[in-house]
C-alpha cells in the first residue's frame, strides 16, 4: 500500500503559517557583551537598524515575512561580521542556514536602498567648510573635499564574463572605488567594477568623475595617489619632487591620503566577510557588490553612533591587488597650473 508523502516547507516547520514572527531569540535576554562578540554591534545600534529597516523587512511579498525584522538584522550582522553561514550562528537565533541566506539578502537590499541617504558628499556651505577644515587639521593640505582610492574584494569566479573579474594577481575580485572624509566616513562608494580594470580606468568611467566635472564643488579637490591622473579636481603627488616646497606638498598629501587606507582596514576588520579570512564572497558579482555596499552603509551608520574605535587587526589574507603603473604627469595644463599655484601659495 502506497504511503502518501507530504512535502513540507522548512520555514513552515520552524515558524508556522501566516504572519507569526520568530520569538526564540530576544535582544533583552542577552548582554551587550554577547551581542558585540557574536554580531559585532551593541544593542542600541541593533535596535536602530531594526527601526530603520523594519518596514522593508516586513514586506508581505517576501518569503521570510514570518521571521521578525529583529532576527533578520541579527542574521545579516552575524554574516557580515563573521563571513560565515555557520550552523551555530543560525542556531543562536533559531533559524536554518537557508533562512540565514534569505535574511542576509533581505537586509542587504534594504541597506543598499538607503545608501544615498548615508553615503554622500555634504551640500550646504557650512558642512563643506567643516569638511575642508578637518582635512587641513591633519597635515595642512588645503581645499580637500575627500580622499579617493580603490580596493579589491575577492569573489568567486562568476559564470559569465569570467576574465573581466580576474585581477593582476590572478584572483577574481571587484575593484571598489571609494572616497572618505577625515574621520573615515564614506562620501562615495562604487563597488561594482570588475577586478581586471585598473584604478585609473575605474575612475575615468565612474559616476564620481561625472559628479565632479559637472555638478560638484569647484573650489576644492579630492586627493588621489599616483595610480590616477592629475585633474583640476583631483590632486596627485609629484612623481619626482625637487624643491623643498614639492617635498612638503608630497608629505602633506601622503599624510592626508593615508586616511583612506586606514578606512579600508577598518571596514575589513569590522566586516570579516570582506577580508578574505573566510574565503571569497560566494555570490554573483552583482550580489557581492551589494553586500560590499551594505557594509559601507553600516560603516557610516556606526560612525554616526560613535562606534569609530576599532582596534582589532584584520584577520586572514586581504586582497588589494596593487597596481603596476607608470608614473605619468597629466597633460591637463589647467590641472598642472592649479597644483603649481597650490605649491606656491601653501608650501613655499
Residue 93 resides in a domain: yes
Residue 315 resides in a domain: no
Residue 210 resides in a domain: yes
Q: Are residues 105 and 153 in the same domain?
A: no
Grid coordinates in use for 180? 572618505
Q: Are residues 111 and 123 in the same domain?
A: no
Residue 312 resides in a domain: no
Residue 309 resides in a domain: no
179 phi, psi to nearest 5 deg: -125, 135
Which residue stretches of the chain have pLDDT < 50?
Answer: 1-23, 61-62, 64-65, 310-326, 328
Residue 254 resides in a domain: yes
**What pLDDT shows up at residue 312?**
41
Q: Are residues 187 and 221 in the same domain?
A: yes
Q: Are residues 145 and 250 in the same domain?
A: yes
What is each CA distance from 81 to 24, 77, 78, 272, 302, in whole angstroms? 22, 6, 6, 5, 13
Q: Are residues 110 and 181 in the same domain?
A: no
Q: Are residues 149 and 247 in the same domain?
A: yes
**What pLDDT shows up at residue 25?**
64
d(CA 144, CA 136): 7
Task: For 89-103, write each residue's pLDDT tens digit.
Answer: 666 677 778 888 899
SS3 328: coil
d(CA 137, CA 114): 31
Q: Are residues 221 and 81 in the same domain?
A: no
Q: Last residue of a domain, which of 59, 90, 117?
A: 117
- DSSP secondary structure letter of residue 315: P
d(CA 274, CA 253): 28
Grid coordinates in use for 22? 520568530
The label of the residue with cell 595644463 reads: 333
Q: Are residues 125 and 138 in the same domain?
A: yes
Q: Are residues 123 and 112 in the same domain?
A: no
Residue 105 resides in a domain: yes
> What is the residue range of 337's domain?
119-284+329-347
d(CA 336, CA 343): 11
Cβ pair 203, 305 in contact under 8 A? no
Q: Following DSSP, what letter does each residue of 30-85 receive, concatenated? A: S-HHHHHHHHSS-HHHHHHHHHHHHHHHT-TTSGGGGS-HHHHHHHHHHHHHH---
Number of domains, the chain: 2
Q: Are residues 231 and 161 in the same domain?
A: yes
**What pLDDT shows up at residue 279?**
75
Q: Are residues 74 and 144 in the same domain?
A: no
Q: Provide the phi-psi class of 60: left if phi over 0, else alpha when psi is between -120 and 50, else beta.
A: alpha
**What pLDDT shows up at residue 2?**
47
Q: Last residue of a domain, which of 86, 117, 148?
A: 117
Q: Are residues 61 and 124 in the same domain?
A: no
Residue 3 resides in a domain: no
Q: Last residue of a domain, which of 99, 117, 135?
A: 117
Amino acid at each position: 500500500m502506497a504511503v502518501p508523502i507530504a512535502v513540507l516547507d522548512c520555514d513552515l516547520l520552524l515558524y508556522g503559517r501566516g504572519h507569526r514572527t520568530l520569538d526564540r531569540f530576544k535582544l533583552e535576554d542577552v548582554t551587550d557583551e554577547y551581542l558585540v562578540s557574536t554580531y559585532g554591534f551593541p544593542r542600541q545600534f541593533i535596535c536602530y537598524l531594526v527601526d530603520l529597516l523594519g518596514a522593508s523587512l516586513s514586506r508581505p511579498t517576501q518569503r521570510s515575512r514570518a521571521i521578525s525584522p529583529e532576527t533578520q538584522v541579527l542574521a545579516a550582522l552575524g554574516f557580515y561580521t563573521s563571513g560565515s553561514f555557520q550552523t551555530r550562528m543560525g542556531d543562536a537565533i533559531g533559524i536554518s542556514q537557508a533562512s540565514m541566506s534569505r535574511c542576509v539578502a533581505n537586509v542587504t537590499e534594504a541597506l543598499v536602498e538607503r545608501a544615498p541617504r548615508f553615503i554622500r558628499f555634504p551640500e550646504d556651505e557650512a558642512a563643506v567648510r567643516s569638511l575642508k577644515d578637518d582635512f587641513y587639521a591633519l597635515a595642512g593640505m588645503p581645499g580637500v573635499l575627500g580622499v579617493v582610492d580603490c580596493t579589491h574584494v575577492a569573489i568567486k569566479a562568476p559564470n559569465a564574463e569570467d576574465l573581466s573579474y580576474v585581477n593582476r594577481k590572478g584572483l577574481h575580485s571587484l575593484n571598489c572605488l571609494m572616497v572618505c572624509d577625515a574621520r573615515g566616513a564614506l562620501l562615495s562608494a562604487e563597488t561594482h567594477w570588475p577586478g581586471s580594470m585598473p584604478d585609473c580606468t575605474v575612475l575615468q568611467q565612474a559616476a564620481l568623475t561625472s559628479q565632479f566635472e559637472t555638478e560638484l564643488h569647484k573650489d576644492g579637490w579630492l586627493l588621489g595617489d599616483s595610480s590616477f591622473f592629475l585633474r583640476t579636481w583631483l590632486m596627485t603627488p609629484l612623481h619626482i619632487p625637487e624643491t623643498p616646497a614639492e617635498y612638503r606638498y608630497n608629505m602633506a598629501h601622503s599624510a592626508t591620503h593615508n586616511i583612506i587606507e586606514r578606512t579600508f582596514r577598518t571596514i575589513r576588520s569590522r566586516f570579516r566577510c570582506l577580508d578574505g579570512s573566510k574565503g571569497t564572497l560566494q555570490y554573483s558579482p552583482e550580489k557581492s557588490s551589494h553586500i560590499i555596499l551594505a557594509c559601507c552603509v553600516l560603516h557610516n551608520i556606526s560612525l554616526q553612533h560613535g562606534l569609530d574605535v576599532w582596534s582589532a587587526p584584520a584577520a586572514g589574507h586581504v586582497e588589494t591587488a596593487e597596481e603596476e603603473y607608470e608614473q605619468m604627469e597629466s597633460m591637463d595644463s589647467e590641472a598642472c597650473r592649479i597644483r603649481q599655484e597650490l605649491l606656491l601659495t601653501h608650501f613655499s
